[in-house]
Structure 1
């Protein structure tokens, strides 16, 4: 699908909102077992590549671990690199939410579609401690 011309990248506050809302959407999907809303929040390319059943499989390890993604709203994301546009126009945001006993790392890509930045791809992992990124992941 052709990508809409994106406006300038979101500012810091909007970027944090995108991160929080995406992780909360995954948390709600994991808690309810209903991945339809998460899918529907995505860009058209994300929606066409993922049905709710596929997303349930993708996030099974995060769901089984009960990572508790809702706690991300209690702190600001720590970015591992400055968020920015890729050569293909996706908005790339990588970082973590430190925490004990485990933190959360994320790699999110947003596509500008239908007048807004929408989920294009995402990966979430548990961080056992700050030195070890952990092995449990949910990716798409």
Structure 2
């Protein structure tokens, strides 16, 4: 299964700790092997006439290292607040439109039930910089994906996030968060028992 399938503007479903680590795009009626079809000419945007006062759509800026960390930290804090209060409205409402369409607050509560049950304090991710397992990847001109973890002990917090440029800012488009136990350096270096 692809991590992100961006053939539809519907939005991404998020997952908590109970589901496998992946964010899945909800595409009604789509099949796994479907090919992306170009939009018919009638649906393509009309060119802006010369001399009109209509500005071109804003180009999505490449986030700096600090901006990227801020996006990740703010997402962690928003999820932590939603898990603590049981109210996922702010998480939903601060996300990209497609995310909002695909996820109502009660659905987000169900999705994050496993993460809530793990009782991990996601605000501790503010104490350290995120470590990246891959460089940020542009999935389409207005969406990028970033994967990594916060090296906390005894449980690291692994994340996989996508952000969409919308209304002049990066907004959450998909998220996956999972606590994982990390072996201590001594356990990693011990030879296997024979």
Q: Normalization by structure 2: what TM-score? A: 0.63
Report the structure, 1 or 2, having the larger helix content. 1
Q: How many residues align?
A: 130
Q: After the TM superposition, list the runs of 4 or more consecutive aligned residues in structure 1 that deviate by more than 6 angstroms.
A: none
Structure 1 pair 53–39 and aligned structure 2 pair: CA distance change class (3 A): same
Query: SS in structure 2 opposite 1:112?
Result: strand
2:156 is aligned, of 103, 108, 117, to 103
Give the drift of 1:8.
2.7
Find the counterpart in structure 1 of residue 84 from structure 2: 31
2:166 is aligned, of 113, 116, 122, to 113
Cα offsets for 1:21-75 (capped at 9, x unmatched): 0011000000000000000010000001100000000100000111110001100
Find the counterpart in structure 2 of residue 51 from structure 1: 104
Larger Rg: 2
Query: CA–CA distance in 1 between the matches of 2:98 and 2:183?
Result: 33
Structure 1 pair 21–123 and aligned structure 2 pair: CA distance change class (3 A): same
What stretches of structure 1 of length at least 5 have no aligned partner? 132-140
Cα pair 1:9 1:85 within 8 Å, conserved:
no
Find the counterpart in structure 2 of residue 17 from structure 1: 70
Cα pair 1:43 1:111 within 8 Å, conserved:
yes
Structure 1 pair 59–6 and aligned structure 2 pair: CA distance change class (3 A): farther
Query: CA–CA distance in 1 between the matches of 2:66 and 2:175?
Result: 20
Q: Normalization by structure 1: what TM-score? A: 0.87
Query: CA–CA distance in 2 between the matches of 1:29 and 1:59?
Result: 9
Find the counterpart in structure 1 of residue 14 from structure 2: none
Find the counterpart in structure 2 of residue 40 from structure 1: 93
RMSD of the alignment, in Å?
1.8
Query: CA–CA distance in 2 between the matches of 1:6 and 1:26?
Result: 28
What stretches of structure 2 of length at least 5 have no aligned partner? 1-8, 11-56, 185-194
